Each structure stands twice: as structure tokens, then as C-alpha cells.
Amino acid sequence: MNSVSEIERHIGRRLLAARRLRGVSLDSLARSVGATPGQIQDYEHGHEAMTARRLHDVARALELSVSFFFEDLDATTPCPYGLSEEHYALVKNAVRRIAADHELTSNGQRKKLALRDAVRFARDVCDVLGWGAQHGTGAVEPS
């Protein structure tokens, strides 16, 4: 196993987040960049560093700029994209439910997400990301 730096681990976390959010499978990404699914997984989990060419190919395959992988590199808090499967599923579900609130029904009306559900989803996402109650003051329970 190669020795990788915190920079490569950060890039791997960003890769994992981007791939998941784009709904791209390991197999599909691997095929599009000429790698194996195992190599992609090694990049994502910080076990192997990507070459500049491979990073460029991955960025193109995911329709991102290469700079995306370096965003928040100097942040003092851990990268929030290294979520567990359970937390990732919760955030993904919450985002999908909130997005569905803005879809049109067959009769042209907007769907409405109940305020109670919206607040619950927002709290779940904040908890998963470690934001907790300290980021909001004077919170009011929805009726």
C-alpha cells in the first residue's frame, strides 16, 4: 500500500461524495476512466493516491472541475463528506424529500412538504453533519 497524505485522503472523500451524489456506480466510473472498481474504492478511502491524469479523467467523468476536489482543503474541521452509509442515506433521503416539495403534480400544483417534516429533515441533516443546536437560536417547534 502506498503512503498517502491528508491531501489525498481529502480528495478521496470528495470523490466518494461526488460519485454518490451524482448517482454513479463504482463500475461505471471505473470503466469511464480506465480503472478497476477496486482502484476507485482505494482512491475514495485514501488507500491509494491518484495521478494528476487520473484526477483529471475522474473530474471529467463526474462533470466537475478538478478544483472541486481541493475545496475546503484548509478547513480546520474534518471534511463533512466522509459520512457513514447510514448517515449518507439519511442526508440523501432528506434532500430528495425537500426537492420533491418543489415538483409539480399532474394538475400543475406544487407538492407541499409539511412544516413538521421539513423541520425534522433539516434537524436530521444538521445532526449528521455535526452542526447540532449551537447553529440555531430560539428554535421553535412546528405545530
pLDDT digits (tens, 9 = 90+) for 58-110: 999 999 989 888 887 775 444 455 666 666 677 777 777 776 666 666 777 76
Q: 12-26, 89-103, 120-134: which has the highest mean pLDDT?
A: 12-26
DSSP 92-132: HHHHHHHHHTTSB-TTSPBP---HHHHHHHHHHHHHHTT-T
Place of cell 417547534: 141
pLDDT: is 25 or 100 the higher one? Answer: 25
Domains and CATH numbers, the chain: 6-70 (1.10.260.40), 85-133 (no CATH)
100, 142, 104: which is closest to 123 by C-alpha?
Answer: 142
pLDDT attached to residue 75: 59
Grid cell digits, residue 131: 452542526
pLDDT: is 142 or 45 the higher one? Answer: 45
pLDDT attached to residue 53: 95
> 10-14, 19-23, 121-125: which range is least confident on average?
121-125
Residue 109, φ and ψ in degrees, nearest 5: -90, 150
Are 128 and 91 within 8 A, CB to CB? yes
Q: Give the number of other Cβ atoms within 10 Å of residue 115's Cβ.
A: 10
pLDDT attached to residue 104: 66
